[in-house]
Chains A and B, each alone.
Chain A
Amino acid sequence: GENVEQHPSTLSVQEGDSAVIKCTYSDSASNYFPWYKQELGKRPQLIIDIRSNVGEKKDQRIAVTLNKTAKHFSLHITETQPEDSAVYFCAARRRTALIFGKGTTLSVSS
């Protein structure tokens, strides 16, 4: 089955800096890669996603890149703000099952 590795597990940045979170997946048939943000005590919420036929996608301060050959994808957050502090999860999907990485706790200090 699919296995998703996520790094780093914790990330601390200063407000205004960029943050990068990286994930690798094992199943070359996976074709959909979303990123979720989870605030303390809340449910995960989708923030951006990318399909396997696209190399990069941007939405304001966040972007995701995908390297199918290397089977890795990354989340980039620019101009970080304190409200970006949360746990971020990457995931990979083949057909129905969506498998998540273990999460990255991002702390943005002002």
Chain B
Amino acid sequence: NAGVTQTPKFQVLKTGQSMTLQCAQDMNHNSMYWYRQDPGMGLRLIYYSASEGTTDKGEVPNGYNVSRLNKREFSLRLESAAPSQTSVYFCASRASNTIYFGEGSWLTVV
């Protein structure tokens, strides 16, 4: 039972490049989330998905797109990376009230 799995763990991108962060959970949860964490800013919600087939914008959605591919997978895409998107990205899923986080993806845009 792996919980929430994110890939890649570390990535360096050049400005303007695109990439997709992958997330999968094996707990049969309906709700999934993408957060970014920056020093002094806490965890900010980018997008979330209440159930398979639905996605909603969070606090900071600009520059990102998401896909809820199926119940297990929720991917985050940066179409044209910018230095301001340098951050630690956490995927999470929720059962009832408790949110479970993945280990995080460290992304640097140069």
Residues of A within 8 A of B (CB): 1, 6, 9, 32, 34, 42-46, 49, 51, 89, 91, 93, 95-103
Q: Number of B residues contacting the other chain (C-beta, 8 Å)?
A: 23
Nearest opposing residue in chain A for B6, CB measure? A43
- B45, A102: Cβ atoms closer than 8 Å: no
Contact with A along B61-86 (1 / 0, CB 8 A): 00000000000000000000000000
Asked if A99 meets B101 with Cβ closer than 8 Å, knowing A43-B90, A44-B90, A89-B43, the reply is no
A99-B59, A102-B41 known, 10 other contacts, Cβ within 8 Å: A43-B90, A43-B101, A44-B101, A89-B43, A95-B50, A96-B50, A96-B94, A97-B56, A100-B35, A101-B42
* Contact of B104 with A43 in the complex, beta carbons under 8 Å: yes
A32 / chain B contacts, CB cutoff of 8 Å? 97
Complex CA–CA separation, A45 to B42 (angstroms): 14
Contact B43 A44 (CB under 8 A): yes
Is A102's CB under 8 angstroms from B40's CB? yes
**B89 to chain A: closest CB distance in Å?**
11
Choose one: B40, B43, B45, B56; the contact of A9 (CB below 8 Å): B40
CB distance from A42 to the nearest CB of B (A): 8
Contact indicator A1/B59 (Cβ below 8 Å): yes
Given contacts A96-B50, A102-B40, A102-B42, contact A46 B99 (CB under 8 A): yes
Query: A96–B56 contact, CB under 8 A?
Result: yes
Interface residue B52 (Cβ < 8 Å from any Cβ of A):
no
Contact B33 A98 (CB under 8 A): yes
Q: Is the CB of B98 closer than 8 A to any CB of chain A?
A: yes
The complex places the Cα of A97 from the Cα of B50 at a distance, in Å, of 8
Q: Once bound together, how far apart are the Cα atoms of A46 and B102, in whole Å?
A: 13
13 A-B residue pairs with Cβ-Cβ distance under 8 Å, sorted by A, are A1-B59, A6-B42, A34-B97, A34-B98, A44-B43, A44-B90, A46-B99, A89-B42, A96-B94, A99-B59, A100-B42, A102-B40, A103-B43
